[in-house]
């Protein structure tokens, strides 16, 4: 269960598409998250298919963590700051480096049962 932007949540019963009020929603996608909480977007199959097409294109931006400019970035939270921390947009090499660091830290923690977010 991830609560990063772009993650999919369960659709409330009888929910309709945000764009097409006469269609049943099949997906509930988390949008940008700010200090007031997350924004959820309800989508019918057509809107969801379109969204998936869109999201396949990487976001191009400056990496928030390193000096990389105009690079493909993904939303990411700092492991240290936890799930309530801010969302950063970081490049793949920062993600790889962060994953390696987390894997190392979790190595000795036998009691840790990951929820999939950090793999
Ligand atoms: Zn729709
Ligand atoms: Zn980076």
Domain residue ranges of the chain, discontinuous segments joined by +: 1-57, 58-119
- Is the pLDDT at 115 greater than 60, yes or no? no
The environment of the single-atom ion ligand 2, i.e. residues with CB closer than 5 A, is 63, 65-66, 68, 91, 94
Question: Which pLDDT band holds residue 23 (cuts at 50, 70, 90)?
Answer: very high
- Residues ≥6 apart with Cβ < 8 Å to 31: 5, 38, 39, 40, 41
Give 71's strand partners. 61
Specify whether the CB–CB gap between 51 and 43 falls below 8 A. yes
- Which ligand is closest in space to the CA of residue 96? 2
Distance 68 CA to ligand 2 centre (A): 6
Range 66-94 average pLDDT: 92
pLDDT at 92: 95
Better-scored residue on pLDDT, 40 or 37:
40
Helix locations, 43-91, DSSP H: 45-56
Give me ligand 2 centre to Cα 117, in Å. 19
pLDDT confidence tier of residue 1, bands split at 50, 70 and 90:
very low
């Amino acid at each position: 269960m991830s609560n990063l932007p772009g993650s999919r949540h369960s659709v409330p019963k009888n929910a309709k598409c945000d764009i097409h009020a006469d269609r049943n929603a099949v997906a509930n996608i988390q949008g940008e998250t700010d200090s007031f909480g997350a924004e959820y977007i309800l989508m019918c199959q057509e809107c969801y298919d379109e969204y998936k097409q869109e999201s396949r294109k990487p976001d191009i931006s400056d990496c928030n963590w390193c000096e990389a400019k105009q690079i493909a970035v993904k939303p990411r939270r700092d492991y240290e700051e936890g799930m309530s921390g801010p969302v950063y947009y970081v490049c793949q090499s920062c993600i790889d480096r962060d994953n390696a660091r987390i894997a190392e830290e979790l190595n000795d923690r036998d009691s840790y049962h990951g929820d999939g977010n950090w793999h």
